[in-house]
Structure 1
Amino acid sequence: MPNIKVVIPAFNEEKSIAHVINDIPKEWVKEVVVVDNRSTDQTAEVAKKAGATVLSETNAGYGNACLKGINYLSEPSRQPEILVFIDGDYSDFPEQLPELVQPIIDQDIDMVIGSRALGDREGGSMTFPQVFGNWLATSLLKLFYGVKYTDLGPFRAIKFDELLALQMQDKTYGWTVEMQVKAARQKLKTTEVPVNYKRRIGVSKVSGTVKGTVLAGYKILYTIFKYL
């Protein structure tokens, strides 16, 4: 079994974070790292009680939280072979982690995206702007970078050394698409696996507001064109 670790960026997820941590198959994962991104609730305390390593990132932004987790795991004594990212809102199914990492283990794939478009999606779990935005972004990725994706889903796995080589930079909404764009540019072997998706616990900080939806859409498109 390879050394697999999980990073969970989290902002005000006290009602969901323990569910996510508890549903991660422990026999597959060496360490779960929750990055508390300026939560004003008990997210950090609940995550610690559930057995996660908890880090604090005071700079707001999804990418900032992910970068904090990567930086922590970059220490030689902590480095995993495979790193999995999953959101803290319990919209994904953490028990599908083995399905996500299997192509890396069995087929020497470099990166696997969990595709909500290919899996079973609960009604109302994704808003129309999310569905349309994913379609538009993945269509542009195919047009400009020659890679076929169906989703920019947050539930994903990647070889840790390949992740470090991508030199990720985005601090906010462009994080997921930056990873896929850079993977395409560096000719990484990538694939998708179907993952199921359900209504999240609580309100989305991105798709739950008009401002968040607009900013996320802008940042995703900006990132796609930035690396052309």
Structure 2
Amino acid sequence: MPKIKVIIPAYNEADSIGKVIKDIPNIVEEIIVVSNNSTDNTEANAKKAGATVLTENRKGYGYACLKGMNYIAENKKKPDIVVFLDGDYSDYPDELTKIVEPIINNNIDFVIGARVKNLRESGSMTKPQIFGNWLATTLMKLMFGSKFTDLGPFRAIKYEKLLALKMEDKTYGWTVEMQLKALKQKLTYTEVPVNYRNRIGISKVSGTVKGAIFAGIKILGWIFKYSFK
């Protein structure tokens, strides 16, 4: 069995983080929760549930993910696969085995957990989210011949391939940057349909007008940036 580490960016997810950690399959070697300037009991609850807890005071999804990657890079025990998973319990952590299966059995480089309509709980994705996903993946299809249908945050990638991507986005563009760079570097990839439910608490991105607008701008910015490279 390959070594698997999970990175969970978390901002004020005290009510959900313990559930997320508890449901992650025991094939995972280490669960890394990055508290992204949380002001509640996210860190304490994550530690109690058995996770390695890091603190990133600069707000931003990408900052949190990069913090987790830096921790792994400084650790002597390197993983074969890194899984990214949100801390709000909207994904089903036990489906991690489905996400990593194409990597383990078919030598695929990169796998996205696709939040397909028939597996989504009603209301779990807002209309701006659904439209944004459709627009971003359609543009990637037209500009890069992509087969992606979602920008889902539940994803797995070979560690060596993740390093080669040289990720840099600090905020909302993290997921689309990873997918665009995977296309540019011709990584093998696939999508696995996953269940998706209403998150615990209020979304810091799709749950606010400001968050939805800035996320949309960042995502489109990355797509058009790469279209001219």
Q: TM-score, normalised by structure 2?
A: 0.98
How many residues are paired up? 227
Gaps of 5+ in 2: none
Matching residue of 1:63: 62
Q: Does 1:156 align with 2:155?
A: yes
1:172 is matched with which residue? 171
Q: Secondary structure in 1 aligned to 2:119?
A: coil
What CA distance in whole angstroms lies between the structure 1 residues aligned with 2:109 and 2:75? 20
Share of identical aligned residues, percent? Answer: 65
CA offsets, 1:194-226, max 9 Å, x none?
Answer: 000000000000011000000000000001111
Shift of 1:78: 3.0
Alignment-derived partner of residue 226 in structure 1: 225
Change (3 A) 1:34 1:142: same
- Aligned ranges 1:41-120 → 2 under 5 Å: 41-75=40-74, 77-117=76-116, 120=119
1:147 shift after superposition: 1.0
Runs of 4+ in 1 over 3 A off after TM superposition: none
Could you say which residue in structure 1 is the equivalent of 2:25? 25
Secondary structure at 2:74's aligned position in 1? coil
Letter in 2 for 1:38: N
The one-character-per-residue Cα deviations of 1:143-190 (angstroms, maximum 9, x if unpaired) are 111111110000000000000000000000000000000000000000
How far apart, in 2, do the equivalents of 1:145 and 1:81 lie?
28
Structure 1 segments unaligned to the other structure (5+ residues): none
Tell me the TM-score normalised to structure 1 length: 0.98
The aligned residue for residue 207 of structure 1 is: 206
Paired AA for residue 7 in structure 1: I
CA distance in 2, matches of 1:177, 1:63: 11
Change (3 A) 1:97 1:174: same
The whole-number CA distance in structure 1 between the counterparts of 2:204 and 2:159 is 28
Amino acid at match of 2:10: A
CA distance in 2, matches of 1:78, 1:141: 35
